[in-house]
Amino acid sequence: RNDSSQSSRMPDDKLLDGLLAPGFDERSCLSRYRSSLFRKISPHKPSSYLLSKLRRYEDLHKRCGPRTKSYKKACKRLKSGHGSSGGCNYLVWIPINGLGNRMISLASAFLYALLTDRVLLAELGNDMSGLFCEPFPNSSWIFPKNFSHKVEFRNHDERYARGYGNQLKQGIINESMESVPSYTLLNLDHSDYDLDRQSFYCNQNPSLLQKVPWLFLISDQYFAPSFFLTPTFNQEVQRMFPEKETVFHHLGRYLFHPSNEAWGRIIRFYQAYLANADERIGLQIRVFNTKTTKVRTVLDELFKCTQKEKLLPQVDPQNPAAAPSKNQRSKAILVTSLYTEFYENISNTYWAKPTVTGEVIGVYQPSHDETQHFGDNMQNMKAWAEMYLLSMSDVLVTSGCSTFGYVAQGLGGLKPWVLYKVEEEHTRDPSCVRDLSMEPCFHYPPTYDCRRNKKMNAGSLFPYLKHCEDLNWGVKLV
Ligand code: GDP
């Protein structure tokens, strides 16, 4: 063995138990091999079957990805309008909604690509550019901006007409398959397009979709659990993820590496405010509609939760004196929110009075943008940095129904306390609940059993798929 082969070897924890492939250029993506220096080692090991699927996928992506001969041929076929796969099939993910929604749907799309041997390409557009490193070695996952063929689905009618459901209904995609369209569109977002969702989740004839070389997928949902519901994929996903609740944990840590710019933000903040604390507590506070929900109400619910669950240290109202200064434990509270009120209130509380335990408390909030903007690259950069910082917590409180929180808990391998969403001032008692697992919730699971032609309840079919604590019609892997 010579020196160079030794230096290119990396300890297992750097590669996250084999999840990451070695051999990437380290400087172009500092976070990839350094995350293990900052985050606790995950107790959840990826299965060897998942690792072999990932390595096989990387080969496929290298062979078929942008700038390869196969890719150029496939683009020509796409232009011609007629299908027949030339050995490389593609899944193009189209973003909609906020960054958290995008990340959970992109991870689901990657799982689908792994299951069906498609090459995943992501249309990152302008507002997601520069957030992530390339996840696949020696290739790119970016769907080229100057893509020559105009794929028609930007308006509602086109989206419907080009949808898989409609193409099945019209016989454009059919059993005989004399002529296959070169592309079809899967509308799996939370809004209309029931026909597409039903056709996809039913998956009664998977070989039909397999023949279409280009699939464009629009989704803001975490639809990964749907593959546990279909007999076609159930055994395969169970083999990949014997620990069911680790789907996003592994796929997310495989795919989403902060770019150097995002990593700089994360590490500067972490080192300045969080690294030296004995414990880090993340509070992710999402108020979905400030017109109908008062910030004060959410703050009250948060305090009820942290008090009942003993998540934040109590202050001593009687004793304003400073606590003894030797061997004090310290806690850092990271607040993420679009607003400042939560941070101000919590930091004031710990400034005005000492803690009962004598613990020293720091309270920090990286940004407060006030409103959610769409198409804003810098807001996405901050959001990504904050999700990542939250994932470095020891204890995490998230806001019910928020995908922003789902990303943090999944990447961090954390089972959070979930604050129930306050709907028009309606609160619940207790105000929060310990989540069932670290997985994101699938908000709109299929409700129809195509084989038996009747309604179904996705949360009652398998012991490992349960209704979500934060949304009773959603389901999550546990
Ligand atoms: P969800 O709407 O809570 O499911 O989360 P999304 O991430 O899909 O959409 C919310 C968007 O609002 C984020 O992507 C951010 O752009 C912005 N946002 C919401 N909460 C925060 C926050 O705590 N910090 C930052 N930086 N941005 C936030």
The pLDDT of residue 88 is: 95
The pLDDT of residue 181 is: 87
- Asked if pLDDT for residue 92 goes beyond 80, the answer is yes
Confidence of residue 79 (pLDDT cuts 50, 70, 90): confident
Atom of ligand 1 nearest to the CA of 383: 26
- Return d(Cα 420, Cα 435) in angstroms, integer: 11
Query: Element (H or E) spanning 419, and its range?
Result: strand 417-419
Candidates 334, 465, 348, 467; CA nearest to 398 is: 334
For ligand 1, atom 27, which residue shows the shortest CA distance? 383
Choosing from 104, 295, 372, 441 the residue with most ligand 1 atoms within 8 A of its CB, the one to mutate for a pocket test is 372
- Asked if pLDDT for residue 3 goes beyond 50, the answer is no
Q: How far is the CA of 98 from the centre of ligand 1 (A)?
A: 6
Put simply, whether the predicted model's pTM sits higher than 0.80 gets the answer yes
**SS3 for 395?**
strand
- Return d(Cα 55, Cα 51) in angstroms, integer: 6
b/e burial code for range 162-172 (CB count within 10 A of at least 16 → b): bbbbbbbeeee
- Return d(Cα 279, Cα 281) in angstroms, integer: 7
Cα 170 to Cα 162, 163, 251, 338: the distances in Å are 11, 11, 36, 46
Q: How far is the CA of 115 from the centre of ligand 1 (A)?
A: 30
Query: Element (H or E) spanning 60, and its range?
Result: helix 48-64
Tell me the mean pLDDT in the region 394-399: 98
Q: How far is the CA of 100 from the centre of ligand 1 (A)?
A: 7
**77: number of Cβ within 10 Å:** 20
The pLDDT of residue 148 is: 55
Q: Are strands 417-419 and 395-399 parallel, antiparallel or unpaired?
A: parallel
Candidates 16, 22, 21, 18; CA nearest to 35 is: 16
Please tell me what DSSP assigns to residue 171: T
Contacts of 189 (CB under 8 A, 6+ apart): 96, 97, 218, 219, 220, 221
Both tokens assigned to 443: 């908000």
- Return d(Cα 202, Cα 200) in angstroms, integer: 5
Rounded CA Rg of the chain: 24
Q: How far is the CA of 177 from the centre of ligand 1 (A)?
A: 43
Cα 67 to Cα 88, 141, 430: the distances in Å are 13, 11, 55
260-477 sits in which CATH class? alpha beta
- Asked if pLDDT for residue 9 goes beyond 70, the answer is no
Backbone φ/ψ region at 346: left (φ over 0), alpha (ψ -120 to 50), beta: alpha
Query: Domain boundaries in the chain?
Result: 40-242, 260-477
The interface predicted TM-score (ipTM) is 0.99
Tell me the mean pLDDT in the region 131-147: 91
Percent of the chain with pLDDT over 70: 93
**SS3 for 417?**
strand
- The dihedral built from the CA positions of residue 242, 248, 249 and 253, taken in this order, carries a sign that is positive
CA triplet 300, 306, 310: central angle to 5 degrees?
150
Tell me the mean pLDDT in the region 410-415: 98
For ligand 1, atom 11, which residue shows the shortest CA distance? 98
Q: Which protein residues touch ligand 1 with a CB less than 6 Å away?
A: 97-101, 286, 336-338, 367, 369, 372, 379-380, 382-383, 386, 402-404
| 167 in Cβ contact with 173 (< 8 Å) | yes
Both tokens assigned to 466: 């349960």
Dihedral pair phi/psi, residue 238, rounded to 5°: -65, -35
Q: Residue 257 CA to chain centroid, in angstroms? A: 12
Q: Are strands 432-434 and 417-419 parallel, antiparallel or unpaired?
A: antiparallel
Atom of ligand 1 nearest to the CA of 403: 4
Candidates 370, 364, 472; CA nearest to 421 is: 472
Tell me the mean pLDDT in the region 225-241: 96
Choosing from 390, 404, 407, 443 the residue with most ligand 1 atoms within 8 A of its CB, the one to mutate for a pocket test is 404
Confidence of residue 2 (pLDDT cuts 50, 70, 90): very low
The pLDDT of residue 84 is: 64
- Asked if pLDDT for residue 255 goes beyond 70, the answer is yes
Tell me the mean pLDDT in the region 399-405: 98
- Return d(Cα 440, Cα 442) in angstroms, integer: 7
